[in-house]
Amino acid sequence: MGFAELRRRVNGVSEGSLAESLRQLVRHRLVERRSLPVVPSHVENTLPRVEAAVFLIRLTDWIEGNVADLIDPV
């Protein structure tokens, strides 16, 4: 999925935060970044391993279910 599509799907995250998170995920090899040879330029971000995808989906679901407690842990 491209950056713009990711940004649309992840509500409330700044462009800078999303870019930094993607850089870290790529660095740790949890996300694969591929630049496509098209005009205009396009980059795809994919989950290279099925087990990583399953883990991240579960983590995302947990975060969405607990976001209120994460923002205000009191």
- Which pLDDT belongs to residue 74? 66
CATH number of 11's domain: 1.10.10.10
| Distance between CA atoms of residues 33 and 29, nearest Å | 9
Whole domain around residue 41: which residue ranges?
3-71
Give pLDDT tens digits for 22-71. 889 888 888 888 888 888 888 888 877 767 778 888 888 998 888 888 88
- Which pLDDT belongs to residue 13? 82
Cis status, amide bond into 40, omega within 30 of 0: yes
Query: How far is the CA of 8 from the CAs of 14, 30, 74, in angstroms?
Result: 11, 21, 30
Q: Number of folded domains in the chain? A: 1
